[in-house]
Structure formats: C-alpha cells, structure tokens
Structure 1
C-alpha cells in the first residue's frame, strides 16, 4: 500500500467512489418518487417528508462516530459493514408496506450511508502519499457529482417503467458486489493508540438533533399535537445546551468548543446550518411542485432536475475566482442573497409559462447554490490548524446533513400550513407552494447577515489548496 500505482490501491479508489456514488444517489433518487410512494402506501404526498428526513438525520447522527469506529475496528470491517447495512436497508425499503416501515428502513440505510464516505476517505488518506492525496480525492469526488445529476431522473424513470420499489432494489446486487470486493481489496487500517470515545457527548448531540427534527416534523402534521411539539423542542434545545456544557468540561470532547474561537469557523458553520435549510428544502419541494401542482409526470419532473445538477457542476470552479477577486464576506453575503431570491422566484412559476423559462430558473438556482456550497465549505475550514481540521471537518459534515433534514422539515411544515389554508382546488395548491417558496427564500436571505459577521481580514485570506480541498467535500 505504499504506492498509489498498485492495483490494490486503485481498487480502493473505485470502492470508495462507488460507496460515495450510492450514498449521494440515494439522497436524491427518492424525491421524485415521493408522490408514487404515497399513493402506493395510502398516504398524502405532503406527509412523505419523513422518508427524506429519516435518511439525512440518521447520517447526521452517525457521522461523528464513523472515524472512531474505523480506528477501533479497522477500515475494511467498518466499510464492508456500512455497505451491508446500506444493502439491508435498501431491501427493507423495497419490502415496506406502510410509511412507518419505510421510515425505519431508511434509518437503517442511513446508518450504512453515514459511514461510507468518512471511512472511505480515511482509507484513501492512509493508502496514498500526501502528494497524491488531492488527485485521489478528486477521483472519489466525481461520483458524488454524478449521483445528484442522475438521481431524480432515474427515480422518475423507474417509477414509470416499473415501480418505486426499484429505486431501492437496484442497490442490492451492486451493493453485494461491493461487499465482496471490499472484503478482498479494502485496506485494513486501524489506530494503535485509540482515545476513548465521548459516548455522553454523542448521546446528547444525537438526542438533541432527533428531538428538534421530530418537533419540526410534528408541525408538518404527523399526528403530534402542539403540546408534544413544544416538549420535543424544549428537550432538543436542552440537550444541545447540555452538550455545550459537557464539552467545556470533558478532556476529549466529540467537538471541542475551542473550534468556535476561530471566527471564520464559527461564522461559516452557523451560516452553513441556516443557509442550507433552504438548499435542503429545494430538492424536496421542486419535484412535488412539478408533479402535484403543475401536472408533470414523475419522469418529466426528474428530467427537470437536470439543469440544476448540470449548472452546479459547470459553475463549481467559479467560486475560487470570485473569492480571490471580491473576498469571502462579499461573495457569501451577495451570493446568499441571490440564492434566497432564486428560491423565492419559484413562487412565480405557473403551468402556462414556456418551458425555457422554467429551465432557466432551475439552472440559475443550481449555479448560485453550487457557488454557495463551495464558498461556505472553504471559509469554514480554511483557518483551522492541523490539530483541529479533522474535528472541524467532522462537525461540518454533521451540520450539512442536519441542515438537509431541517430544510425538509421546515418545508414540510410550511407546506402543510399553507395547504390547509389554501388548498381547496388546483389553484390553491399552487398558491400553497408559492407561499412556501417565498418563506424558504426569506429564510435564506436572512442568513446572509451571519456571513456579514466574518472578520474583514478573512476576505483576502483565501488559500488555493484549501479551496480545492473544500470543492471535494
């Protein structure tokens, strides 16, 4: 394993890239199929957000433990177990007969998906010399761009050509092949001196995230009354506060409060959390709008997501150029405002409008969203020292998945409220979506004030190497 030219090392790259592809594909393939799944399970399409939330929230919970598990049990065993859990969860999803079973199966799938990229990245880091690591990670990152590109389209096509069950069944044979190859070729790295894991901090964080998400999901009409929602909200906030106190006293906390002594990290992390609420809501809202309010078929709705993914890929390299010219603060404040206005502009869509107008708006949203992600990732990590980089990156990854879950919860809650008040006919349903897009856009625009808190000297502190690494996240 000393040379990246060895066949085994190349196979490790393919295995990690394959796992990343499965993870990102399943994060997007479900969105287009939600109405068909709702019809099959006898549920309202506007109550299916828990299928998306369960996957993203489970990943957010499990990511902090993935590195420690790999160090404790070895990258080969943990990566293979992650693939096996992902396959088992996929099969359970396909065999689900009601919404509760499907959500539980998505939790199992999310447990596997949460470990695929962090453990795979660790295997690549230890298998390749430092001078080859960036090139290796560039290779691994490509499937992460392809997954969201084809996921919605593939999901819509499978719903029409076969049934929604096949969006999960296609994972089974390829996942089993991945397990076999992983057992044979994956590197088996582990740590000789492993520090104890902060189980108390992990439990406080996990319980806080789950209860907050359940509280927001309760607002979307999953059968919880106002009192249980309020109790869950208080419990969630109390657990997050308890973690902060615990972390200040623990000798080796899961995430040290000292990370937040760095201005760019604290501002970038909070900006990620709130700005990504809107970005997490859009992949859920757009297919629903197209199918439920504008009469698109699942396949056509999936095709309409192609401009978003394609423009995101094409514009990804614009961010470093913009940052070098204008600085982090100006780029993030201005682009966040543009992103929120792009989301709000979806409130102007109507079935009678020309197709090119819809494609143009989708493409513009994809471009500014991609620039936002790259700039936010870079500013969050760029000033951390080498001893803090691993923990900072882990916390950022957790916040990214948490904000995706919160975005879908917020969108579902808003859509449920507006639908109850406006959805008396097709025109009322479209108006409910329009009102939801306006609110999501307003939340995103408001998060621009967080990025305004960046220190002025952060504007010119860009590092080209760190920008490239952030592009790979």
Structure 2
C-alpha cells in the first residue's frame, strides 16, 4: 500500500531555515532532548540512595525507573500525535511543563510514593526526541536533515557518557535531589529557547482533532504489554499473572484496533499499520533494540563483572571498557550516519547498520571468553548500532510518516524502542542466570538471532519517495 509521506522534499508549509537560524534550531533541540536524557541517565547512579533515603532497600528503587520509562513510552505516541493538531512548539512546551512539575515534586517530596509520581511526570519528556526529529524535518533542507538528526539522536545514547558519571559524583557529595535541581535548570533554559526559536503553528495537511479515545486505548495496551514483557514473562509463561497480562495485552490491542477503525480522524489509521511504511519500521526497531540493547546493556555488563564465569572486573572498570566506548563512538558516528543517509539513502544506512551490528554480535558471541575481542566487538557496536542503526531508524520513521499524520510513525517507533529493550532483557536473563553451567555465549547468541531477524525485516521497509528515483 502506498501512502503519501512527509519526506523533506514534500514539506512546503513554511520556509526552510539555513545558516545561523538552522544552527540555533539544532542547538535548541539539543538542549530540549538533553533535558529528558538527564532524567533518564543522570538519575541512574542515584537510584540506591533514593530508596535508602526513604528507608527502602535497592528493590524499592525499581519503580523509579520502570514507571518512568513506561510513562515515556506512552508519552511518545500520544504527545507526538497531539502535536499534529496543536503544533510542535506547543507540544514541546506542554511536555516540558509536565517535566518541570515532576522535577519540582522530586526535589520537594517527603515520601517515596510521591517521588515515583514525580518520576512518572518526568516521563512526559520522552516525547522530546520524536518532536525534535519532526521539527528538523519540517524546518531544514533535505540536504542537512540527516546530519542534524544524527546530531540530536546522538544525545539519546547519553551526553558523551559524562551524565551518569556526574550524576554519581553529585549523589555522593550533594545528595540525589541536587540532580533534579540540574534537570530543572536545563528544562527552564530549554523552554526559553523553544519559545524564541522553534516555529509555532499547526502543520498543514493535518485535519480533524486529537483522537483521545485512541490515545487512551493505546496507552492501556502499552501498559499491559510492558508489564507482560517485564513481570509476566519473568514469572513464567504459564503462571497465572503471565496469562492474565497476556490476555489483557490481546484484549486491549483488539479494543484499540476496533476504536481506530471507527474514528474519522484516528490516532493511527489502520491502513497505515498495514502498509510497508509502518509495520516493517516498527518491527525492525523493536527487534533491533531487543537484540542489541540486551547484549550491550545487560549480558555484557553481567559477563564483565562475573568473578566466577566472566572477566571479574570492577563496576567502574566494566563501565570504562564496555559502556563508555560504544556511547562515545555512537555520539561521534551518528552525524556521519545522517550525512550518508542524506547522500546515499536511509535504507542503505539502515542495512549497513544492521549488517555490521549482526557481524559484531557474532564475533562477541563466538569469542565470549576473550576479553579483548569482546571489548572491540562492543566498541564496534557503538558505530554500527548506536550510530548507524539507531539514527536511520529514527530518520526513516520521520520521512515515511504520512502527510496527514506526520507524528504517527515516529511516535509508534519511539514506543517500540522501549518495548524492544525490555523484551530483549527478558529473553536473555534466564540464560545468563545459568552462566555457571552454560557460560554467557548462549545468551549472546540469542541476541544475535534477534538482531538477524531485525536485519531481515529491514528489507521489507518501503523506500522513501526521494530514494525511489
């Protein structure tokens, strides 16, 4: 099915920016996305202290992250799609206002439950990256769109790897609330910059009004899906809680599908979900995150610190060898990936990233007992996965989204990324738990298999209009 897309060559609703105005817009969007990134990564080292401050053990900190990311997964498609009707600037300011309210609550809260509420409100910032990508597409020339998207997308891997380190230092010396003071200051700066720089107004070609029934039913589906992937799967496939969550997931999706079929201006039209512009992008993003996130951020981390069956490194040395290199290389190569996409096409960039990620994963799995080889393979994933694959997925979600719903596909892609990351960890965790008898190679091979599926599905992605010639 062919749908009219929002490629940079077809957006005509406002003059394109260049020169200093374009640089100002990119800088503003970087500050806006950094606001959310800080709430995600800078807070991580402080989680144990947050729980301890309210008399809870480490397990008490889990909802501070799980509820935050669940809120972000819901905010991405809902606020993103809402921006089609109220404008990008208004949506960004609304998201930032919710983040500010949550941050103030986190600073002043006297109890852990209120801190969790604050973290849920901060999750609204999850829409910031999606909104930033759409703003770039609508306001910059096609020749610089890819590079600029790569620059902004690089922030999603962390602020050069320094945010978590600084967050840890601030927690040790000033307490966890000091982190939220920094987030609040950055959010206020971002709001001022957005008001001054981001163009206002509603995008042309969008009709109707926000489908809140669709937004509500999609949110319920995402909640059931998230809990099924995390808690239901860990309890066992046949456990009552797993079966109940699976039933809730299926029923809520059926309700969402039924609502969208009957809406004159749906949140996401069913015909789009059936098209090659939508489902392969969503499937590729979910599978790629399930494969690579689990490998980079779970299996390899556990392997590196396992004294009996792994490399037995300290947490700090593990982070230095296995987390910092891919993060830094991703920041450096994401703009390059965008530059190649501008000149050679988004599909080529996607498949290069997927193919080389698969190759790097195979090397890591085949030589999982060799420290040097695994370090080099993980570093290579910073280029292929963090830099190329992640950038191209986000770029394609923007340029393939239809003109009458420019935020629909980016929103669904953003939600699928979070779901995929959780799914990957759930799939490999049982195998890492048996490392004493099996080693870590089986868990790594599972990630390789999922990544191979993502690579194959990427060949079903439809070519954007400007790549068909």
TM-score calculated relative to the size of structure 2: 0.73
In the superposition, relative to structure 1, how do residues 346 and 219 fare at CA in structure 2: closer, same or farther (>3 Å)?
A: farther
* 1:452 aligned onto 2:456: yes
- The answer (yes or no) to whether the contact 1:90–1:106 under 8 Å persists in 2 is yes
Call closer, same or farther: CA 1:127–1:389 in 2, change over 3 Å.
closer
Say yes or no: does 1:116 pair with 2:125: no
1:373 CA displacement: 2.5
In structure 2, distance between residues paired with 1:25 and 1:433:
37
Q: Is the 8 A contact 1:160 1:298 kept in 2?
A: no
User: In the superposition, relative to structure 1, how do residues 288 and 30 fare at CA in structure 2: closer, same or farther (>3 Å)?
Assistant: farther
- Which residue, out of 176, 184, 189, partners 1:172? 184
Partner of 2:325: 307
3-state SS, counterpart of residue 170 of structure 1: helix
Change (3 A) 1:173 1:328: closer
**Closer/same/farther in 2, CA of residues 366 and 464 from structure 1, 3 Å limit:** farther
Tell me how far 1:85 sits from its aligned partner. 2.2
Tell me the alpha carbon deviations over residues 154-212 of structure 1, each in whole angstroms, 9 at most, x when there is no partner: 33443444444433332122223333454555543236875122222222211111112
Change (3 A) 1:116 1:377: closer
Report whether the alignment pairs 1:190 with 2:210. no
Structure-1 residue corresponding to 2:254: 241
The verdict on how the C-alpha distance between 1:268 and 1:6 changes in structure 2, with shifts beyond 3 A counting, is closer
Alignment-derived partner of residue 103 in structure 1: 116
User: Corresponding residue for 2:410?
Assistant: 393
Distance 1:134 1:372 in 2: 13
Q: Say what the alpha-carbon RMSD is for the aligned residues.
A: 4.7
- 2:281 is the counterpart of 1:268: yes
1:147 aligns with 2:164: no
For structure 1, which runs of at least 5 residues remain unmatched after alignment?
423-429, 468-473
The residue aligned with 1:283 is 297
Q: Does 1:368 align with 2:384?
A: yes
Tell me the distance in 1 between the aligned counterparts of 2:198 and 2:322.
38
Cα pair 1:125 1:133 within 8 Å, conserved: yes
CA contact (8 A) 1:311 1:363 kept: yes
User: Whole-Å Cα distance in 2 between the matches of residues 146 and 449 of structure 1?
Assistant: 27
After superposition, the Cα gap between the structure-2 partners of 1:431 and 1:82, relative to the gap in structure 1 and judged at 3 Å, is farther
Cα 1:97–1:286 shift into 2, 3 Å: farther
CA contact (8 A) 1:337 1:448 kept: yes
Give the whole-Å Cα distance in 1 for the aligned partners of 2:254 and 2:447: 24
